[in-house]
Amino acid sequence: MKIVEENLGLLSNDEVLAVLKDREADKQPVISRATPSEIQAYTGLLAQCGGSYKEREQLAAFIKAVEPFGLTKSEIVQLINHRPPSVVEIFLCIEDCEERFEEAQIEELLQLIQQHLATS
Amino acid sequence: MFILSQLEDTVRIAPQDLGKPAEMAITTAIERTFLDKVIAGLGLVVTLYDILSIGDGYVYHSDGGAHYKVSFRVVVFRPFTDELLVGKVHRMTRDGLHVDLGFFRDVLIPPHGLPEPSYWHEDDEAWLWRVEGQDLFFERGLPLRFKVQSVRFHAVPTLAEQQAQKEEGVPVLGTEERPFVPMEVMGRADGDGLGMVHWYAADGEDMAE
């Protein structure tokens, strides 16, 4: 085995869920094509996401909306994975949050998360 | 966090599977070899993303199988340092908290990664964090928020090593009392917002009142 390219890109939990669903990990183990480990990963991740995941277009809209904040890729993926509902959690996802952003900006960011990523 | 990785491997299709469409036989073979396995230095392979190319099938003398050079992409779970993760505490020992992420269970929060001052409660077999004279317990089965400190890969124990351990009388790596862990994630739960998720939920309600 050879690793051709170690890291082609980061995937958020939502994207992994979409891939797993394509692999039929959302079905019952008896009729599914997916392996038990895939089904386990799907159920585990779905529970973390609160029962439903966002499509690529919805994620793209969110990424475009947070562009002016100048966040790194991994920070954006963490925001998508955790959907921080409050300031404390946003501080955990973004490094040096206090120095980089003002309170109003953090509020705005929280609103964008609510608007784009809230599980309905 | 998950990453997408491109791999290349030579896949052998056994003679009895040569009647199947090549793509299908190769997909099954890759699933069997890579899924739910740790690649040292990379991470845990969660699922097959797609197959990029399948080379010509070579047949060697004295082997009835066909050998294909296949290039494919997989979804890999590889946490990076300082990444925020949430998982359920599934076991507590003197060594620390063992956290279950749903698809990956080899996460350890060592005692020095717990908030100061933390104590081991002998009777309850649980860790607790003493804050402002109040004892906050880490509880089994409930979500814990932590940050990744390091990821370690361990090489598969060789027979010689296992033999040496047996002679020394220490538990043999790869047996029931000392399971072999190919990838181990060390975490820490000391910091603002880290720790049991329900601690913070309760705080929020208090403030609202």
For B200, the closest of A12, A41, A88 (CB atoms) is A88
- Tell me, what CATH number does A61's domain have? 1.20.1250.40
CB contact (8 A) between residue A16 and residue B8: no
Chain A residues with beta carbon closer than 8 angstroms to that of B2: 10-13, 15-16
Do A31 and A74 lie in a common domain? no
Chain B residues with beta carbon closer than 8 angstroms to that of A89: 193
Residue with tokens 């050079």: B69
Per-residue model confidence (pLDDT) at position A89: 85
Domain-located, residue A7: no
Per-residue model confidence (pLDDT) at position B50: 93
Q: What is the pLDDT of residues B75-134, one digit of tens each?
A: 999 999 999 999 999 889 888 999 999 889 899 999 999 988 888 988 888 898 888 888
Q: What is the pLDDT of residues B125-169, one digit of tens each?
A: 889 888 888 888 888 989 999 999 999 999 888 888 888 888 888
Per-residue model confidence (pLDDT) at position B20: 92
Query: In Å, how far are B174, B175, B179 from B171, measured between CA atoms?
Result: 9, 8, 10
Q: What is the pLDDT of residues A14-27, one digit of tens each?
A: 999 999 999 888 88
> What angle, 0 to 180 degrees and rounded to 10, lies between the N-to-C axes of helices A56-65 and A13-22?
170
Domain-located, residue A67: yes
Do A72 and A107 lie in a common domain? yes
Do A43 and A80 lie in a common domain? no
Do A38 and A88 lie in a common domain? no
pTM of the model: 0.87
Q: What is the chain B residue with the closest CA to A19? A: B49
Per-residue model confidence (pLDDT) at position B10: 95
Chain A residues with beta carbon closer than 8 angstroms to that of B44: none
DSSP state at residue B127: E
Chain B residues with beta carbon closer than 8 angstroms to that of A47: 102
**Under 8 Å between Cβ of A85 and B189:** no
Do A61 and A106 lie in a common domain? yes
- The yes/no answer to whether this complex scores an ipTM above 0.90 is no
Per-residue model confidence (pLDDT) at position A88: 84
Per-residue model confidence (pLDDT) at position A120: 55
**H or E stretch at A111:** helix A103-117
Per-residue model confidence (pLDDT) at position A17: 92
Q: What is the pLDDT of residues A53-110, one digit of tens each?
A: 888 888 999 999 999 888 999 999 999 998 888 888 888 888 888 888 888 999 999 9
Per-residue model confidence (pLDDT) at position B209: 35
Q: What angle do CA B117, B125, B81 make, to 5 degrees?
A: 55
Q: How many CB atoms lie within 10 A of CB A78?
A: 24
Percent of chain B with pLDDT over 90: 52
Residue B202: pLDDT over 80: no
Do A65 and A99 lie in a common domain? yes
Q: What is the pLDDT of residues A22-47, one digit of tens each?
A: 988 888 888 888 888 899 899 888 88
Per-residue model confidence (pLDDT) at position A34: 85
Percent of chain B with pLDDT over 70: 96
Contacting B residues, span 2-61, partner chain A, CB-CB under 8 Å: 2-9, 31, 35-36, 39, 42, 46-49
| Strand, coil or helix: A28 | coil
Per-residue model confidence (pLDDT) at position A24: 86
Do A39 and A20 lie in a common domain? yes
Per-residue model confidence (pLDDT) at position B207: 44
Contacting A residues, span 36-95, partner chain B, CB-CB under 8 Å: 37-38, 40-41, 43-45, 47-48, 74, 77-78, 81-82, 86, 88-89, 91-93, 95
Q: What residue numbers bound the domain in which A109 lies?
A: 56-117
